[in-house]
Structure 1
Amino acid sequence: MTDTGSRPLGADLDTDLDADLRATVLLEREALQQHLGEVLGAVHRPARALELTVDTFVDHAVDFAQVALHSHQGWMSVGRTRGHDLVGERDRPIGRRQAEAVRDVLSRQAPEHWLLPPETPEREAMLTQLLGESPLVAQLAQLDAASVLSLPLVARGRGIGLLTLARARGRDLTADDVLFLEDVAQRLAVALDVTIVVADNRHAASTLRTALLPPPLPASAGLDVASYNRVAQEEVTVGGDFIDLHGAETDLTLLLGDAVGKGVGAAVAAKRIRTSVRTAALVDRSPDRVLTLTNQVLVHEAESPVESFATAVCGRLRRQDDGSFEVTLSNAGHPPPIILRREGTLEYVESHGPALGIFEDAEFGRSVHRLEPGDTLICYTDGITEARGRIDMFGEDGIATALAGLGGAPSSAVVERLAMSVSSFLGPDSLDRDDAAIVALQPSVSA
């Protein structure tokens, strides 16, 4: 670190200047620290934090600033020279050569005050190594800076980035400046580290939510499909109720179920069950066998029954030559599916079996039904029947009332009417909400 002997942020505090000028310098330094604290305290995206950081330094302290930072997205950098716009696209990683230079400085975890050679190829090479292939190199040359200060950003004992600063010739940084900026860099490192942690946690949570969300139900020739899924904990966007439909268009496996609990924990269990069912269906397409194999997986993997407890309905839908579907259904402790016939009658499908994940030797029955064009198979979770109003629960009577007059209506109309009826029953201010899911399937009349 080299003392250039020039004036710091306004003036050298050790000179015999009048009290007013010394007070002005202190105010400038205080303003820099206060502004950094304010802007970084309100930002949770690393790229935006870098932009605000370099703007603050250039506006309040120096003529050039660049910050290189490492986050879950890799290395990124943003820089600015007084009189120029920001350089460095958000979230774009820095080049390998610059990353190596940054790591080299960080490995020493000590400030580096570089004296720059005159306008020579060596000067440009030094700046390019430190700043990367960037317009910042030419802009810094225009300042004719005599030195560049590199300050490691160290938080929790590890280097997370590098702050590089410079001033135009004649306003070069002094030893007093460097001491002050070292302290600022330490505070800055802590603030940026918090930003990185928040961003990394959000990224991890977003990735987890995306992985836990069930895939969209596929369109199937000859089958009209509609669904509804509401999570109890809307802030996490995932829950324990799940719907899945997969297989060939003429031979589909349907799954609708309810994993114990709410939120992310229930969504993890639901994901495990969906995956197990898809795997089991590769071995045996019969829904009772699918549930048997899935149950064995859950029992063997769980440390306690509570962890994997779930109810489910599993069905196999095979399209016939006349456009109808043969439907085989098995039930694991779940509310009974309903067949809404085209003429408007309701048939509750009673096919009994215990919930998944409790008994290793559980057995599941099956029943076979025929869906003609216009008939609708409706499966739902207990978030529908157990929706609690002011006096009682929605129940099967509520379902029957909601479905009245919908015989032959499209699946989307059936799902929408049922979902709206439950929502109205609960009321807008109800706190007693559970995950809820509905799926309706109907052979197309035109098939």
Structure 2
Amino acid sequence: MSVTNHKPVQNKIAEGMFCVAFDTAAVVMIGLSPNHEILGFNQEAEHLYDMRRDEVLGKNYFQLFLPKEVWTDVASDIKKVLAGEPTKGFENIIRRKDGEERLLSWNVSRFLDQQEKPQGIVAVGHDITEQRALKEQRRSQKLYQITIENISDTVIITDDEGVFTYVCTNIDVIFGYSAEEVLTSGKIETILGQTPFELSKLREEGEIPNIEMDIVDKSGNIRSLLVNVKNVDIFGGTILYSCRDITERKQAEKLIIESKELSEALNRIDVSISSTLDFNEIIQRAIKESVQTIGCESAALILREEDSWLIRYMYRLGENKVGTRLSNKNAKHLALVAKTKELLFVDDAYVDARVDQELMKSLGIRSFLAIPLIIKEKVIGVLAFHYLSSTGGFSEPEIDFAGKVASSVSLAIENARLYSDQRNIADTLQETFLTVPKKIKELDFGHLYHAATEATKVGGDFFDLFELEKNKICILIGDVSGKGLEAAKMTSMIKNTIHAHSHEENSPAEILKKSNKSAYKTIPPSSFITVFLGILNRKTGVLTYCNAGHPPPIVRRISGRSSFLDIGNNPIGVLEEVDYSDRKVRLKDGDVLFAHTDGLIEARRDTKFYGEKRLRKAVKELASIPAPELPQAIFDQILEFTDGKLVDDIAILSVSLERKRDCNKP
């Protein structure tokens, strides 16, 4: 390398001095040609790049030491220097022989020949890798601190042993302790209670997010935290804990889950108690399910009787007390509920002045919730839930749940009472619908009635046998649409009407025509009545009949043949004016007339109905079964067909003339 515009001797001296200085400088010095070939490579460069001078001279600097991604920037800088623009502080990454990358800061200038033409560049480099890393660490640490101090989460940093190295100033918000108290307390376990992760797992993964855990704060309150843990190298620590208080969120989630569970339980209770009209079953089902849902220890139902209270039912609490009467003085908490018509919550019954403390102690009740049972603005009783061994214990959702259960129980009790009243009336009526004489001269007969369920025991099915003058017998079977008291009223009306007209007319058609006019004006528009009415002459065996929309009876001949009678006319009550017509059939001694309501042929197993075809076959195959026993025999087959599952009431009436009679002539 030469310096221009000097005398030859001076130039030699200068060149020698430059070479010595170049080689022994304490900084990296490299000379490059305009084509980036290495012209000079001092001792410091050999040390930094880990390559000897003779290994690199004449070779392309870019290809030896620069990552390709910096080639463009470095080439551009060299071009500027060659053009006469020296560079100071140009930074780029170089790659050592072993692959390690270092960051260098360069001061670069050109050197010229004797004609002042650029011959290359001399680059003086300083390794600033550690310096830059330290600067970045300091900047990062400062940035961490600024971030930590301004985020809502509480940040804690410890070493691998859990010893605190940094505590955020807002730590008191969650834990209740000041930063100074925490720093002097020792290790992370003093505030978290336990280390919520495995150190080996953290080392392997670098971060463990979303750890949910409960801690106890300085005041003894339990708090739920969401903790994120990560590896760091900051503030002298290696583990950073970011703690967020999620207590309110967890409580809200718990309330949502609890409310859902309570709602599902309430639906189960409503379904359960609505499926029965029995008072005892209503109470037992409601109280048992409620206690299990709330998680309390016992419950009781107390009914109001004028100025006293009757313990009607107890669950898990002194069942021997059932039937005990309490005065308003002894049960002043019940009297208070009846007066205010509002629920009463007593946290500690042993000290609360609103209750008889001695009574509570004798029953072992420490805390309770009492809810009024109200029907038509009148308190008929109190539903109470208890804790025996502790105070408190009822959450707001549980109190709301208990109130709704009490409303459901009140409604169910009232429905049961109304049903009982209607049953008493309807049962009396029902007895008259199915009453037939025990014996009728020269006539064999059998009958059967079966209600599909207890709730439909009072239905609209009816039958009757009664004697008329001149050796005639009236045979009647029918079915009123609907169930319950309303159906019972219609049944009573139509049966009495037909009975009355039967003594005035000889024609079943005329009897039903008159009965239809009366019924049309009386029964609801949507109701109707099917009727089969026959008048049997015992002497001649002639059966004159009229069918008003009823399932056709079957005549089973003594010969074994069986057939249906004609279907006939419209049901009663549909139209005001109907011309009914009579039909006739002759029954010989031993022939059987088998009549029934639609519940028999509509009995089903899955989607298959019992049907008329199967019924006719059964009646025929039971040829050896006499009329008095035939209804039960057919019903037994129905039960077998349906596996005992009936959905409608069934009425059966079978009639035959005694076989011992001598006269079969008209």
Q: Deviations over 1:356-390 (max 9, x none)?
A: 22342334444676755422122346788899999
Contact 1:106 / 1:152 at 8 angstroms: preserved in 2? no
- SS of corresponding position for 1:410: coil
Structure-2 separation of matches of 1:386 and 1:167: 55
Task: Indicate the residue corresponding to 1:220 in structure 2.
Answer: 438
Contact 2:437 / 2:466 at 8 angstroms: preserved in 1? no
1:85 to 281, 301, 318: 318
Task: Using the TM superposition, give the Cα deviation of residue 327 of structure 1 relative to its aligned residue in structure 2, in angstroms.
Answer: 4.9
Unaligned runs of 5+ in 1: 1-15, 131-135
Q: Deviations over 1:160-185 (max 9, x none)?
A: 625386878xx7x5xxx49x578744
Task: Indicate the residue corresponding to 2:461 in structure 1.
Answer: 242
* Amino acid corresponding to residue 255 of structure 1 in structure 2: L
Structure-2 separation of matches of 1:388 and 1:88: 48
- SS of corresponding position for 2:319: coil
Structure-1 separation of matches of 2:602 and 2:260: 54
Asked whether 1:278 is paired with 2:511, we answer no
Q: Deviations over 1:213-271 (max 9, x none)?
A: 7855646325443457799x9897579983412547998643223556xx759x96586
Asked whether 1:294 is paired with 2:515, we answer yes
Task: Using the TM superposition, give the Cα deviation of residue 299 of structure 1 relative to its aligned residue in structure 2, in angstroms.
Answer: 1.3
Structure-2 separation of matches of 1:78 and 1:421: 42
Contact 2:375 / 2:411 at 8 angstroms: preserved in 1? no
Q: Deviations over 1:144-173 (max 9, x none)?
A: x9x9877444789966625386878xx7x5
1:107 to 323, 339, 345: 339
Task: Indicate the residue corresponding to 1:194 in structure 2.
Answer: 408
Q: Deviations over 1:45-64 (max 9, x none)?
A: 44225754897799857xx8
Q: Aligned-pair RMSD on alpha carbons?
A: 6.3
* Amino acid corresponding to residue 276 of structure 1 in structure 2: I
* Amino acid corresponding to residue 284 of structure 2 in structure 1: R
Contact 2:375 / 2:414 at 8 angstroms: preserved in 1? no
1:376 to 592, 603, 616: 592
Asked whether 1:362 is paired with 2:578, we answer yes
Task: Using the TM superposition, give the Cα deviation of residue 443 of structure 1 relative to its aligned residue in structure 2, in angstroms.
Answer: 3.7
Greater shift, 336-345 or 245-254, is seen at 245-254
Contact 1:277 / 1:291 at 8 angstroms: preserved in 2? no
Asked whether 1:48 is paired with 2:281, we answer no
Unaligned runs of 5+ in 2: 1-217, 225-246, 274-280, 662-666
1:308 to 527, 543, 557: 527
Task: Using the TM superposition, give the Cα deviation of residue 409 of structure 1 relative to its aligned residue in structure 2, in angstroms.
Answer: 3.7
Task: Using the TM superposition, give the Cα deviation of residue 104 of structure 1 relative to its aligned residue in structure 2, in angstroms.
Answer: 4.6
Asked whether 1:68 is paired with 2:302, we answer yes
Please list, as runs of the form range in 1=range in 2, the aligned pairs for 1:29-428 lying within 5 A after superposition.
41=268, 44=273, 45-48=281-284, 52=288, 60=296, 66-68=300-302, 77-79=312-314, 85-89=318-322, 102=334, 104-108=336-340, 109=342, 111=344, 127=356, 137=359, 140-141=361-362, 151-153=370-372, 161=382, 163=384, 177=392, 184-198=398-412, 201=415, 211=426, 216=434, 218=436, 220-222=438-440, 223-227=443-447, 242-247=461-466, 253-258=474-479, 264=483, 272-273=490-491, 275-282=493-500, 284-285=502-503, 286=505, 287-302=508-523, 304=525, 307-316=526-535, 327-334=543-550, 336-344=552-560, 353-366=569-582, 373-380=589-596, 402-404=618-620, 409-411=625-627, 414-415=630-631
* Amino acid corresponding to residue 578 of structure 2 in structure 1: A
- Tell me: CA distance 1:18–1:60, structure 2 relative to 1, closer, same or farther (3 Å): farther
Structure-2 separation of matches of 1:400 and 1:342: 15
Task: Using the TM superposition, give the Cα deviation of residue 188 of structure 1 relative to its aligned residue in structure 2, in angstroms.
Answer: 0.9
- SS of corresponding position for 1:411: coil
Structure-1 separation of matches of 2:320 and 2:259: 23
| Larger Cα-atom Rg | 2
**How many pairs does the alignment contain?**
382
- SS of corresponding position for 1:360: coil
Greater shift, 337-346 or 222-231, is seen at 222-231
Structure-2 separation of matches of 1:19 and 1:416: 73
Task: Using the TM superposition, give the Cα deviation of residue 419 of structure 1 relative to its aligned residue in structure 2, in angstroms.
Answer: 7.0
- Tell me: CA distance 1:47–1:251, structure 2 relative to 1, closer, same or farther (3 Å): farther
TM-score for both structures, normalised by structure 2: 0.41
Task: Indicate the residue corresponding to 1:9 in structure 2.
Answer: none
* Amino acid corresponding to residue 225 of structure 1 in structure 2: F
Q: Deviations over 1:185-214 (max 9, x none)?
A: 443121232244356557767887894978
- Tell me: CA distance 1:372–1:254, structure 2 relative to 1, closer, same or farther (3 Å): same
Task: Using the TM superposition, give the Cα deviation of residue 313 of structure 1 relative to its aligned residue in structure 2, in angstroms.
Answer: 0.8
Q: Deviations over 1:326-363 (max 9, x none)?
A: 75533324455444343445576569554322342334
Q: Deviations over 1:294-324 (max 9, x none)?
A: 31232113564xx23443211345767xxx9
Structure-2 separation of matches of 1:100 and 1:280: 60
* Amino acid corresponding to residue 358 of structure 1 in structure 2: V
TM-score for both structures, normalised by structure 1: 0.56
Contact 1:295 / 1:360 at 8 angstroms: preserved in 2? yes
2:654 to 427, 440, 444: 440
Task: Indicate the residue corresponding to 1:6 in structure 2.
Answer: none
Structure-2 separation of matches of 1:50 and 1:381: 38
Q: Deviations over 1:88-123 (max 9, x none)?
A: 54xx696785899735533223648699999xxxx9
Contact 2:600 / 2:610 at 8 angstroms: preserved in 1? no
- SS of corresponding position for 1:308: coil
Contact 1:253 / 1:317 at 8 angstroms: preserved in 2? yes
Structure-2 separation of matches of 1:150 and 1:193: 15
Higher relative contact order (CA 8 A, sep 6+): 1
- Tell me: CA distance 1:301–1:75, structure 2 relative to 1, closer, same or farther (3 Å): farther
Greater shift, 295-304 or 279-288, is seen at 279-288
* Amino acid corresponding to residue 534 of structure 2 in structure 1: G
* Amino acid corresponding to residue 194 of structure 1 in structure 2: S
Contact 1:377 / 1:441 at 8 angstroms: preserved in 2? yes
Task: Indicate the residue corresponding to 1:12 in structure 2.
Answer: none
Contact 2:595 / 2:654 at 8 angstroms: preserved in 1? yes
Structure-2 separation of matches of 1:383 and 1:167: 53
Structure-2 separation of matches of 1:111 and 1:280: 59
Q: Deviations over 1:423-447 (max 9, x none)?
A: 99xx879xxx998765321245579
Contact 1:353 / 1:365 at 8 angstroms: preserved in 2? yes
Contact 1:344 / 1:404 at 8 angstroms: preserved in 2? yes
- Tell me: CA distance 1:328–1:103, structure 2 relative to 1, closer, same or farther (3 Å): farther
Structure-2 separation of matches of 1:60 and 1:350: 66
